[in-house]
Chains A and B, each alone.
Chain A
Amino acid sequence: MTEARRGAAATSVRHGSFLPSAVDPQVFDEAFLRQLERLMLVSRTAVRGGMKGVRRSVKHGQSVEFTDYRDYALGDDLRSLDWNVYARLEKLFIKLFVEEEDVTVHVLLDASGSMAGGSPDKLVFAKRAAAALAYVGLASYDRVTLTILQGRVARRLPAVRGTGRIFSVLADLSAVQAAPGATDLAAACRHYAAQLRQRGPLMLISDLFDPNVERAIAELAATRCDVALLHTLSLDELDPPFEGDLRLVDRETSERVDVTADLATLDAYRSRLAAWQAHLEAISARRQVSYVSVPTSLPLADLVFAELRRRRVVA
Chain B
Amino acid sequence: MTLLAPLALLGLLFVPLIVAFYLLRLRRHERTVSSTFLWQPLVRDVEANAPWQRLRRSLLLLLQLLVVVALVLVVARPSGERAAGLARDLVLVVDASASMAATDVFPDRLTAAKRAAIAALADLPADGRVSVVAAAESARVVANEATDRGGVSRAIESIEQSTAPGRLAEALTLAGELAERARGAEILVVTDDAASAAPEVVLAVPLRVLTVGAERDNQAIAALAVRTDPSGLERAVFVSIANYSDSRVVRRLRILADGTPITARDLPMEAVSRADVVIDELPEGTRVVEAQLAEVPAAENGAPPGPADLLGLDDRAWAIVPPDRIRRVLLVGPGNAYLQTAFALLPNVELYGATADEYEDTTGKDRFDLFVFDGVLPEELPEAAILAIAPPASSPLGAVTGTLPDPAIGQGPAAEPLLRNVDLSRLHIAEAQSMELPDWARLVLPGSGASPLIYGGLRDGVPTAVIAFDLRQSDLPLQVAWPILATNLAGELLGLAPGGVEPVAPGSPVELAMTPGTAALRVTRPDGSVAEMAPSASGATTVTWVETRQLGVYRVERVLEPAQPGASNQVASAVPSPSASAGASPADGAPPQGPEDEPTYFAVDLFAPEESNIAPGDGSRLVALGAMAAPDTAPAGVARDEWWPMLVLLALALLLVEWLVYERDGARRIGAAIRRRIGELTPGRRRAT
Contacts and interface: CB of A to CB of B under 8 A. Distances in A.
Interface stretch (A82-90, A126-134, A250-258): A250-258
B42 A249 contact: no
B48 interface: yes
A94 to B, nearest CB: 54
Nearest to A245: B28
A97 interface: no
A255 B48 CA distance: 16
Contact of A273 (B38, B43, B668): B38
B48 A263 contact: no
A265 B37 CA distance: 15
B45 interface: yes
A268 B42 contact: yes
B411 interface: no
Interface string B651-689: 000000000000011001100000000000000000000
Interface stretch (A112-120, A192-200, A219-227, A304-312): A112-120
A1 interface: no
Contacts of B668: 263
Interface string A132-170: 000000000000000000000000000000000000000
A260 to B, nearest CB: 5
27 contacts: A116-B34, A122-B34, A207-B34, A211-B37, A234-B34, A240-B33, A242-B31, A243-B669, A244-B29, A245-B25, A245-B26, A246-B31, A247-B28, A247-B30, A248-B30, A248-B39, A249-B36, A250-B33, A251-B32, A251-B35, A253-B36, A257-B36, A258-B28, A259-B46, A264-B46, A265-B46, A276-B38
B46 A246 contact: no
Given A245-B28, A252-B35, A272 B41 contact: yes
Nearest to A211: B37
Contacts of B43: 257-259
B425 interface: no
B39 to A, nearest CB: 5
A209 B37 contact: yes
Contact of B28 (A114, A246, A262): A246
A22 to B, nearest CB: 28
Given A245-B27, A247-B31, A258 B38 contact: no
Give the interface centre of B33, B40, B665, B668 by most chain A CB atoms within 10 Å: B33
B196 interface: no
Contacts, number: 97
A237 interface: yes
A260 B38 contact: no
Contact of B34 (A117, A245, A258, A265): A117
Contact of A249 (B33, B37, B45, B669): B33
A269 interface: yes
Given A258-B28, A262-B665, A269 B38 contact: yes
A272 B34 contact: no
Interface of B: 25-43, 45-46, 48-49, 664-665, 668-669
A186 to B, nearest CB: 14
What is the interface of chain A mostly: helix, strand, loop, or mixed? Answer: mixed
A268 B26 CA distance: 22
Interface of A: 114-118, 122, 207, 209-211, 234, 237, 240, 242-253, 255-260, 262-265, 268-269, 272-273, 276
A120 to B, nearest CB: 13
A274 to B, nearest CB: 10
A234 B665 CA distance: 23
Nearest to A270: B38
Contacts of A251: 32-35
A240 B28 CA distance: 17
Given A263-B665, A265-B42, A258 B35 contact: no
Nearest to A241: B669
Contact of B29 (A211, A247, A257): A247
B49 A258 contact: yes
Contacts of B31: 242, 246-249
A207 B35 contact: yes
A118 B34 contact: yes
Nearest to A242: B31
B195 to A, nearest CB: 70
- The 4 A-B residue pairs whose C-beta atoms are closest, nearest first, are A209-B35, A114-B34, A247-B28, A250-B36
Contacts of A269: 38-39, 42
B669 A263 contact: yes
Given A246-B29, A246-B31, A248-B36, 18 more contacts: A118-B34, A245-B48, A246-B28, A246-B30, A248-B31, A249-B30, A251-B33, A253-B36, A256-B30, A258-B28, A259-B43, A259-B48, A263-B665, A264-B46, A265-B42, A268-B42, A269-B42, A272-B42
Given A243-B665, A246-B28, A265-B46, A257 B40 contact: yes
A30 to B, nearest CB: 22
A212 to B, nearest CB: 11
Contacts of A244: 29
Give the interface centre of A117, A211, A264 by most chain B CB atoms within 10 Å: A264
Contacts of A210: 37
Nearest to A237: B34
A250 B27 contact: no
A272 B38 contact: yes
A122 B35 CA distance: 13
A264 B45 CA distance: 11
A107 B41 CA distance: 32
A257 B39 contact: yes
Contacts of A118: 34
Nearest to B49: A258
A273 B43 CA distance: 14
A135 B121 CA distance: 93
Contact of A260 (B32, B36, B46): B46
Contacts of A253: 36
A123 to B, nearest CB: 10
Contacts of B669: 243, 263
Contacts of B39: 248, 257, 259, 269
B542 to A, nearest CB: 81
Contacts of A249: 30-33, 36
B197 to A, nearest CB: 76
Contacts of A245: 25-29, 48
Contacts of B29: 244-247
Nearest to A116: B34
A255 B43 CA distance: 13
Nearest to B42: A268
Contacts of A250: 33-37
Contacts of A242: 31
A118 B34 CA distance: 7
A103 B297 CA distance: 102
Give the interface centre of B39, B40, B41 by most chain A CB atoms within 10 Å: B39
Contacts of B30: 246-249, 256
Nearest to A252: B35
Contacts of A258: 28, 43, 48-49
A166 to B, nearest CB: 29
A109 B37 CA distance: 20
Nearest to A254: B32
B687 to A, nearest CB: 11
Nearest to A113: B34
B33 A115 contact: no
B34 A115 contact: yes
Give the interface centre of B37, B38, B42, B664 by most chain A CB atoms within 10 Å: B37
Contacts of A257: 36, 39-40, 43
A13 to B, nearest CB: 25
Contacts of A209: 34-35, 37
B406 to A, nearest CB: 128
A114 B39 CA distance: 14
A273 B40 CA distance: 12
Give the interface centre of A115, A242, A255, A259 by most chain B CB atoms within 10 Å: A259
B386 to A, nearest CB: 108
A258 B43 CA distance: 7
Nearest to B40: A257
